[in-house]
Structure 1
């Protein structure tokens, strides 16, 4: 069966954005020349084989493209969808359809986007049905946490950027119990360390 993967760029203190919600100050005020969480997508000299316009360092490109090639469908929460301007009526992945989880109406869905109102488990099932045997990616801190609560997540990939944001939106929300992980791979690259975990059950 295909696997469910949650991946995100995070600060060392576990944040995925800063204190302000607007895109101009997404990572908080007064950071100056501090590295941003997605700089490593564009600061290398190796073009991604999957994402047009991405130029990563060689070790980042190798790992990032290996995971991107595994994804056959994506599930995202409403906050992620809205924060990303609806992914331009497309998907965060160039070839994978998008399933948006929200109990409230989402009126501007288009193209490869499907609205799921009945929760993350049903969204993952629907994504698996169209993924062609490939894996399902889950996006968004709240949704990833809900998927962990329901025992749906098989792997976590944290692209850890060497900055302490000091506040903002955390990737992981509160869980009812601890979740045990096994580190499968750690890849140090310029501006980021890629940590690949297996979720133990």
Structure 2
């Protein structure tokens, strides 16, 4: 079977994935963190060293992280996250970066794609093998949704209104319907897992 493409990001209730004024050298911006739930529990992650989550969050987080065979991020996410030194968002999966600008340096686990979201997803699928592709960032996610390339949307919704920052979703050319697969309440976060309904997706050969 072809690998699935999904996004799983922490988001505020008003739909931001960073605080205000994110960027290179400023990290994910100012304001409350969206990632306290990674470290506020007693259950160690089996995928990410150093993560200690609540029991409920650990089950969700590790199930999702274990699926990732390759990550795909846009340039804003790449710069905000400080991956210029060769880092990646996943401990074992390589990173594909979609950008029209060259990366600061060449790294073994990073691949630059400049020719659009379809080519970037195709490259990530090759790296992923029999695992799935995890999208990172609002621009890449919105582009992939508009192209009909996303299978699942997972929101780790933190109970805060940030009032500004980088939004999770950009404008889309049409509405996209989702089906709720699972909702898991946990300390400091609610995990919402949606399937993207194919009947509502842009007609795109896959």
TM bracket (short chain): over 0.9
Matched, 1:141 2:157: no
* Residue 70 to residue 39, structure 1, CA distance change in 2 (3 Å): same
Distance in 2 of aligned mates of 1:19 and 1:97: 28
Q: What is the CA-CA distance between 1:25 and the residue it aligns to?
A: 7.8
Q: Structure 1 stretches (4+) deviating beyond 6 angstroms?
A: none
SS in 2 for 1:127: helix
Distance 1:64 1:18 in 2: 22
- Give the SS at the match of 1:62: helix
| Count of aligned pairs between the two proteins | 195
The answer to whether 1:27 aligns with 2:24 is: no
Residues 27 and 165 in structure 1, CA contact (< 8 A), matched pair in contact too: no
Tell me the equivalent position of 2:203: none
Scaled by the length of structure 1, what TM-score is found? 0.92
Is there any run of 5+ residues in structure 2 with no aligned partner, and where? 199-206
Q: What CA deviation, in whole Å up to 9, does each residue of 1:46-70 have, x standing for no partner?
A: 0000000100000100010001111
1:194 aligns with 2:191: yes
Report if the CA contact (8 A) 1:182-1:198 is conserved. yes
Any gaps of 5 or more consecutive residues in structure 1? 29-34
Cα gap change, 1:179/1:69 in structure 2, threshold over 3 Å: closer, same or farther? same
Question: In the alignment, is residue 114 of structure 1 matched against residue 126 of structure 2?
Answer: no
> TM-score by structure 2 length?
0.90
